[in-house]
Amino acid sequence: MSEATVTWALIPIKGSGEGKTRLADALSESEREALVDAMLRHVAAAAKGAGRIARTVLAGPSRHGLDADIPLIGDSGKGLNAALEGALAQIAGMDGRPDRLIVIAADLPRVTALDLDLLAEAPRRSVAIAPDRHGTGTNALSLPLPEAAGFRFCYGTDSAARHREEAERLGLTVETILSEGLEKDIDEPCDLVDAREVYTF
């Protein structure tokens, strides 16, 4: 990949109090909110530390206390897929848009800067998909621009397979990126062991 390639990271976030409701049996509302904030800070720090990522952008209703120098693209309130498609369209239409956009989940407490650099190094005209620990969900996508400017996000059931189909619809090749840091999101109480490095329970 050319050294001149510019890559941005896009992190979607939910509003305060809306995240990680499936952890309600294990954590109080305030604990869940603190965990969400801690994981977001960790993911943003990994993006900042990645040598191939030039800028980090948030998509959602709030920046959850992150620095004001991180741009925030507002959420239309129509769900995650609509929010990401709106953010992608806005970024792809910017003067000085990036050559590649990494969409990275905000609940990856073990992700590293190296993981994100691997996503940034995907070959031109290819979409890189980082599945979750089950192999069915999507924890990160690496999209080439402008080739993937019309990418339709398919978060939900079997999103990894659906995102692969979407890349193929656009005539793009697909790479799968497997790493511990990208696989381990936090959805169920049994996952919380993987968050102990960023939040103390």
Q: Is residue 14 part of a domain?
A: yes
Q: Is residue 154 part of a domain?
A: yes
Quote the number of domains for the chain: 1
pLDDT tens-digit readout, 41-86: 999 999 999 999 999 999 998 888 888 889 999 887 788 999 999 9
Q: Is residue 1 part of a domain?
A: no
What pTM, to 2 d.p., does this model score? 0.94
Q: Is residue 109 part of a domain?
A: yes
CB-CB contact of 129 with 63 (8 Å): no
Q: Is residue 22 part of a domain?
A: yes
CB-CB contact of 97 with 145 (8 Å): yes
Q: Hey, is 102 helix, strand or coil?
A: strand
pLDDT tens-digit readout, 128-181: 999 999 999 999 999 999 999 999 999 999 999 999 999 999 999 999 999 999
Nearest Cα neighbor of 177 from 136, 130, 133, 108 is: 130
Q: Is residue 201 part of a domain?
A: no
For the chain, what percentages of helix, strand and coil (3-state, to nearest 5) are there? 35, 20, 50
Q: Is residue 52 part of a domain?
A: yes
Q: How far apart are CA 23 and CA 44, in angstroms?
A: 22
Q: Hey, is 87 helix, strand or coil?
A: helix
| Owning domain of residue 112 | 7-195
Q: How many CA atoms lie within 13 A of 90 on its CB side?
A: 16
Q: Is residue 2 part of a domain?
A: no
The CATH number for 92's domain is 3.90.550.10
pLDDT tens-digit readout, 20-38: 888 988 999 999 999 999 9
Which ranges of 2-154 does DSSP label H, i.e. alpha helix? 29-49, 80-92, 113-120
- Quickly state the pLDDT bin for 4 (edges 50, 70, 90): low
Q: Which residues pair with 108 in a beta bridge?
A: none
CB-CB contact of 53 with 102 (8 Å): yes
pLDDT tens-digit readout, 102-137: 999 999 999 999 999 999 999 999 999 999 999 999
